[in-house]
Structures are given as C-alpha cells and as structure tokens.
Amino acid sequence: MGLKVRKAVFPVGGLGTRFLPATKAMPKEMLPVVDKPLIQYAVEEAAAAGIEEFIFVTGRGKTAIEDHFDHSFELEYTLQQRGKQEEYQSLSSLIKLPGSISYIRQQEPLGLGHAVWCARHLIGNEPFAVLLADDFIYSSTPCLKQMIDVYQSGVMVAVMNVESRHVNRYGIIDILEESQKQIKVKAVIEKPSPDEAPSNLAIIGRYILDAKVFEHLSRQESGAGGEIQLTDALSPMIHEMPFYGYRFDGVRYDCGSKGGLLAASIAVALARDELREEVVNELSKVMPQSINPV
C-alpha cells in the first residue's frame, strides 16, 4: 500500500484566450461539456479517487468558480419550492465539507510550475495530485483513481502517445523501461521539436507529485515560452526518487481547443441514454452540410 494522496491542486488561473470572446467574462474552466463545466468534471474525478482537500490556484476574474462550488440559496430554495428535486440534488452534490476547498491567487500567469508552487503552503510535506481541467479524460474508471490505485511513492504522470508532429506542445518522456501500464522514466523534455524528441509519449494533465517538487520550483527558473514549467522542476527528480509514467485507460480530449471541447461534448452526449437519439438526429442534419457545403 502506497502513501495516501489526500490533496489535489487545480491550476485555474489561465486567461483562456483561445475561447475569446466567450471567456471575456467567464473562466475557461467553466465552459460546459454538455451540462457540466470542465472544472466540475475534474473535481468529481479527484473526489472519486479519494481526494479530501481541493486547492484551486486562481487569478483575476475567476470568482465564478468559487460561486459554482458554493451554495446558491435563492436558486436552491426556488428549485425545492417547484419540486425540482433532481436539479436540486445536482446542486447539492457540488458542496464539499466545510474547509475542504481552498482558493489561492496566482497574481501573474507565469506558467504551470508557478501555479503549482503557489499552493506549497497548503500542501505541506505530503504527496499531492495536480489536475488540469483542460485535459478532459473520459473513462469508466477515473484517470486519477487509476493512478492512485498503483501509486507507491515519488512521481507519477499520466502519459499517452501523440502524433510526432505535435510533440512540441507537450512534455515528452524518454523511456527507460516499460512494464504493463507503468513506464520508468529516463528523462523529460519540455516541448521539444520533432527531431529532438526522444519519443512521442506525452505527459497529460494528471500528476501525482512528491512535495520535494517545491524545492525545485522555488528557483523560479524560466523555461519554454518564458514560463516556469512544471516539467523542468520534475526533471531532476528522476534521479532522486521513483518516477513513472502511467498509460491510462480512457480517451483524452484537449478541451483547451475549440475542436476538442466540441468533440468531448458529443462523446459525452452520445453516451447518455436520454440524449443519444436527439444528438444523432441533429448530427445527421449537420453532417451532410459539413461534407458538402452549399
């Protein structure tokens, strides 16, 4: 039995410029996949994996996230008065135990590594998870639970193969050895060019980290894109502790892109019995126009 992972960090301070103007006044993490925002899926995934404390690293204009995971007394009262119990229960399920949700401000968008470092005092000296809501992973067993079930100590990152021409979008791992779903990592390179990448095995937005990562992040060293990269802080840890990649079961949708968000919504809708027929009918109307535009 490995160390218990009780805390999770959700970096939600990004600007969401790829979704403007929709994200001008709404956090990108509140964009919906069918009828739930991306951040809710991430929190539910963490809760299903046994996470007890939820730490949001926010920025300006992110108060909608705080409101989403809080009571809305007027709305709840109205739903109860109108007998809408199903809708009322869907809101009640958002509320966690008092004190289990924390919010901390990342004053400047200096990168993922900086966002994680901002949570250092709330994490203390124990292993913790990091979930990126943009990476929507659709699976029967939540991705983080798959990882926590096999985690023993050190560092574990979710990985998947990507197209070689896209390796410059990710942290790419160099494989030392592979056994079933776990991969012993030899090195990690942040956003390499295709001719420099040691593989096409990319780190996806699920991490289980040792608190020692804060020592490396505290150096505040800029990496790719002039930002403080989490991958750069992880690299020296390969030689300090167990470091594994984990091939998860499930389909990952990049909901930081418009196409990925639409694809995730379609996949979730088609999997729901009450929506499938309607969605198929509507898509059948759209697809011929898309293939043969008038």
pLDDT in tens, 13-26: 887 788 888 888 88
Residues 6+ apart with CB under 8 A from 22: 31
Three-state DSSP state, 99: coil
How much is the pTM?
0.91
* Topology (CATH) of 7-153+204-256: Spore Coat Polysaccharide Biosynthesis Protein SpsA; Chain A (3.90.550)
* 155 close to 167: Cβ distance less than 8 angstroms: no
Confidence of residue 290 (pLDDT cuts 50, 70, 90): low
Confidence of residue 237 (pLDDT cuts 50, 70, 90): very high
Structure tokens at 220: 């505040």
Domains of the chain by residue range: 7-153+204-256, 260-294
Residues 6+ apart with CB under 8 A from 243: 154, 155, 156, 184, 185, 234, 237
Model pLDDT for residues 162-191, shown as the tens digit of each residue: 999 999 989 999 999 988 899 999 999 888
